[in-house]
Amino acid sequence: MRIVFFGSPDFAVPSLAVVADHHEVVAVITQPDRPAGRGGKVQSPAVKVLASQLGLPVLQPTKLRDGSIARELTALKPDLFVVVAYGRILPPDLLAVPRLGPWNVHASILPKYRGAAPIQWAVIRGERTTGVAIMRMEEGLDTGPVAAFTTDAVRDDDTAGTVASRLAPLGARLLLETLPWIGDGTVAPRAQDHAAATLAPLLKKEDGRLDFRQPASVVSAHARGVDPWPGATVILGDEPTKVFRPVLVAGSGKPGEILGLVPEGLAVACGEGALAFAELQMPGRKRLSATALLAGHPIPPGTILGPFSASVR
């Protein structure tokens, strides 16, 4: 089949690889190159890097709604679109281009977690199971019928990053299995239960702030769901400090009170129970184990981490 592939980050790379290995990719559409990292160096999306290595034509439009990209892709006569974490909403004229429709690899078990950050919100909300769905796209936000899905357990120590690293190849395999059904017309997508839908909006930097008034299990899920971005953040003294790898531990105290160093890391009291953070990172410094950081920057028990954020929405 002739396929136009839309995608941008690392999550989309396995899907592009399997599509390019088994079908004719007539164009790869990805986000424009942008500055990234502390030095602000311009970087290409991961999908562009792979597409260039494979010798595939790459387009990086800055506008989708002026009709030009729809006309360009129509001229390629694609059978279908495959969209994986592209990062922009396709307008109706683009959705209408491929004769077999546009299909999305979405990182949740739809209708739960529609939106830009399904993996992050699944972890934040304490889900024990998540997965990937192959959905036929329509104008609504992830509202289209689902052709196939697969599930994966969320582990106690999972972050959004570790879940994504497992779901990306799972989604690629599911896509590869589903494409022949789409091509021969035997696919039978099922409508979603819209009443059961939940949303997963794009995270903002402030979503990384932890609220230790919550139970330890809730704070842990929050911290892991915002890892790697925007990162779980507390205020230590007057400095924003990032904390990593939370583990539930025994202990009690005022919410946000540092209880001391334990084998699992720096222990902090929550509204119910306590957490230990195995690693911390102060502004402009390296990420260190709690033991190493405290050796050079003592933090006395009784110190309160704050201020509290609003509870995660």
- Whether residue 108 sits in one domain with residue 88: yes
- Whether residue 262 sits in one domain with residue 125: no
301 assigned to some structural domain: no
99 assigned to some structural domain: yes
What is the distance in angstroms between the CA of the first residue and the CA of the last residue of the chain? 42
- Whether residue 243 sits in one domain with residue 107: no
- Whether residue 249 sits in one domain with residue 127: no
308 assigned to some structural domain: no
In CATH, what number is assigned to the domain containing residue 39?
3.40.50.170
- For residues 29 and 73, what is the distance between their CA atoms, to the nearest angstrom? 10
Q: Sorting pLDDT into bands at 50, 70 and 90, what band is 237?
A: confident
- Whether residue 127 sits in one domain with residue 177: yes
Q: Sorting pLDDT into bands at 50, 70 and 90, what band is 313?
A: low
DSSP 3-state percent helix, strand, coil across the chain (nearest 5): 30, 30, 45
Instruction: Tell me if the pTM is above 0.75.
Output: yes
Q: Is 264 helix (H, G, I), strand (E, B) or coil?
A: coil
- Whether residue 259 sits in one domain with residue 241: yes
165 assigned to some structural domain: yes
- For residues 40 and 122, what is the distance between their CA atoms, to the nearest angstrom? 30
pLDDT value of position 310 = 47
Count of domains for the chain: 2
214 assigned to some structural domain: yes
**Torsion angle, alpha carbons of 251, 253, 254, 260, to 10:** -70
- Whether residue 95 sits in one domain with residue 51: yes
Q: Sorting pLDDT into bands at 50, 70 and 90, what band is 38?
A: confident
pLDDT value at 223 more than 60: yes
- Whether residue 230 sits in one domain with residue 125: no
312 assigned to some structural domain: no
pLDDT value of position 36 = 82
- Whether residue 167 sits in one domain with residue 141: yes
Half-sphere exposure of 60 (CA within 13 A, CB side): 13
Owning domain of residue 51: 2-196
- Whether residue 171 sits in one domain with residue 98: yes
User: Residue-wise over 163-176: b if at least 16 C-beta within 10 A, else e?
Assistant: bbebbbbbbbebbb
- Whether residue 240 sits in one domain with residue 98: no
- Per-residue model confidence as pLDDT tens digits over 248-297: 999 999 999 999 999 999 999 999 999 999 999 999 899 999 999 999 99
- For residues 108 and 149, what is the distance between their CA atoms, to the nearest angstrom? 9
- Per-residue model confidence as pLDDT tens digits over 77-135: 999 999 999 999 999 999 999 999 999 999 999 999 999 999 999 999 999 999 999 99
pLDDT value at 307 more than 80: no
